[in-house]
Amino acid sequence: MKSLSTGDYIVFLVYFLIVACYGYWIYRRKHNADATSKDYFLAEGSLTWWAIGASLIASNISAEQFVAMSGNGFTMGLAISTYEWMAALTLIIVAVFFIPVYLKNKIFTMPQFLHQRYNSTVAMIMAVFWLLLYVIVNLTSILYLGAIAINGISGIDFKLCIAGLAIFAIIITLGGMKVIGYTDVIQVFFLILGGLVTTYIAVTKVGEYYGHPGLLNGMSDMYSHANDHFQMILKKENKSYGDLPGLTVLIGGMWIVNLNYWGCNQYITQRALGANLNTARSGILFAAFLKLLMPLIVVLPGIAAYILYKENVFNADMTGSITANHDNAYPVLLNLLPTGVKGLAFAALTAAVVASLAGKANSIATIFTLDIYKKKIRKDATDHQLVVVGKITVVVAMILGVAISPFLGIDKKGGFQFIQEYTGFVSPGIFAMFILGFFWKKASSNAALFATIGGFAFSVFFKFLPKVVDLTSLAASGFSYKSAESGLYEIPFLDRMGFVFVICIAGMVIISLIDAAKGKETNGLEIDAKMFKTSNAFAVGAMLVCGILVALYTIFW
């Protein structure tokens, strides 16, 4: 039944009061009337390593994981965990190679990096790209999927759910990055605790159904009754191959997805840009360990729901809800939880959504205020005026997200895949521009423009290529598969990203060499090999993460 008991509401109210009161206390304790705009947007120098790590995870884990990734766990199984586990390794790479470059060159926003490294034209084009992406794809999908989940567990009207999430997120965001960063620690606590409790109950219910009570027995039953859902590398005949095409998840487009997301994304890197190098690295390493844990919380429940659905354990309404949209698997599962625990899971889900919304809204405000308003609209704006504009931007962005989210067809594509594929239109070009901008001084502004515009154009071209070209010949090579929806052969979007990235890199190199031959100067960044040296403690932690990943992929290959 879609309803919460009095006990559930009490648990949720406790969560809400803790977050609200702690956030207000942080705001009063750390608020300074003379605070600069960088202090408001970045919490410059005030976040600890554990706050940075927790905030990274809280901002990253949202409805697309709890709802949409559980939905993918229902349909394709553990393989979707590659986004989480590969992210752990990616975070280490970002901590070692990307963050030192940003901090050494005093980079505070991603458009600022592009302006400093290339020119104002590239920076402005990408600032607009990012704003559109964050509002139209990310903010809307988080709101929509979050509302689906909360409606599914509580029965509260869908429109009220969206509005409530937006208002809660606005309240936190208006306090600035300090409030977001420190309240995210509490959000992560509820997120992990509620998520683990939900997983425990879901897995034990599987065991109980087969007459084997207990967590370990439930895991054993899940593995034996849904063995095809415990494979990390999908074979071509798997119906989900188009989303996760075999080894591409280890050696292809998945690297572009993760390195672009974790290393070239204002929404994420913003947490570390206000800290010193050691603190930033420690926080990112902490986040890497938490990423290893995430599939237990967001994927296993989806697999458990698949087994219970297959065995007709759910009632007719629940079964119909999942049949209509696999993203309903997690909300349906939550309705099996006992009083109190259901409220805790509700709080965890809300924490994930609100923290992610707050982080996204803050990044939208930062890019618009510092990279568009300050540079193009009012160059003489004071810090106080910039903070006011940032707060207004938060409210406007959230209203836009609420207004357009129901009309994007997020439910038809599947929430998580919707975000990945549409973000993937710009990811290859952005990553090519950043990686060459970091480590190759000859990379020119003309080359960056090619990656910016050409990368998007090629992504669209490869997306619609199957509509005009017969790709059956590519099927044998593994670079094409037959879509169940259209009946046409398509190039998997992770492979498309790989193709576009190679084209962007090659194009940038050629254009940059031509510009160099013409004597055009470039703005190389300040880089010193010593920047990339890590502490012994960080090295040990990084090796431990890598060892765990090798073990996981070996077991579930």
- Are 60 and 235 contacting, i.e. CB atoms less than 8 angstroms apart? no
- Are 108 and 45 contacting, i.e. CB atoms less than 8 angstroms apart? no
Instruction: Note the pLDDT of residue 508.
Output: 92
In a domain, 273, yes or no: yes
Task: Please count the other Cβ atoms lying within 10 Å of the Cβ belonging to residue 313.
Answer: 16
Q: What is the pLDDT of residues 331-346, one digit of tens each?
A: 777 777 777 777 877 7
In a domain, 56, yes or no: yes
Q: What is the pLDDT of residues 219-229, one digit of tens each?
A: 888 888 888 88
> Any idea what the CATH number is for the domain that residue 93 is in?
1.20.1730.10
**Count of domains for the chain:** 1
**Residue 320: strand, helix, or coil:** helix
The model carries a pTM of 0.78
Angstrom CA distances, 275 to 27, 46, 47, stand at: 19, 7, 7
In a domain, 31, yes or no: no
Q: Rounded to an integer, what distance in angstroms lies between the CA atom of residue 357 and that of residue 542?
A: 29
Residues of the chain with pLDDT under 50: 33-34, 468, 475-476
Instruction: Note the pLDDT of residue 258.
Output: 85
Element (H, E) at 298: helix 277-298
In a domain, 475, yes or no: no
In a domain, 430, yes or no: no
Task: Please count the other Cβ atoms lying within 10 Å of the Cβ belonging to residue 141.
Answer: 26
In a domain, 152, yes or no: yes
Q: Rounded to an integer, what distance in angstroms lies between the CA atom of residue 143 and that of residue 138?
A: 9
Q: Rounded to an integer, what distance in angstroms lies between the CA atom of residue 323 and that of residue 174?
A: 40
In a domain, 119, yes or no: yes
Q: Given the structure tokens 């995210």, which residue do they identify?
A: 184
Measured in degrees and rounded to the nearest 5, phi and psi for residue 477 equal -85, -10
Tokens of 27: 């705001």
Cα torsion 374, 380, 382, 385: sign: negative
In a domain, 425, yes or no: no
Question: Which structural domain, as residue segments, surrounds residue 392?
Answer: 6-24+47-411+536-556
Instruction: Note the pLDDT of residue 309.
Output: 82
